[in-house]
Amino acid sequence: MCEDALVAAAKQGQAEAFAALCQPYARRLIRNAHRITRNHEDAEDALQDAFLSAFTLRILTAGPASAHG
């Protein structure tokens, strides 16, 4: 599925589409979170909280460009 379709699906509340959008960034974000927390479990929790907040608050409502930051 192309990124625009994933964004549209995520806007409709499809968690799988949102996960597919987040997945390419997860590895880099977990490394950054680990540098901050210095604990793998805390870094994973922080990343999960961030992704959950983004999904819950519908951060992607600004359109496809918001998927790129």
Q: In the prediction, which pLDDT does 13 show?
A: 83
* E strand intervals along 1-69: none
Q: Which residue ranges make up each domain of the chain?
A: 23-59
This prediction has a pTM of 0.69
Q: State the 10-residue block means of pLDDT for the chain, 69 residues long.
A: 89 89 94 97 95 76 51
Distance CA 55, CA 57 (A): 6
Q: Compute the chain's Rg from CA coordinates.
A: 13
pLDDT at site 11: 83
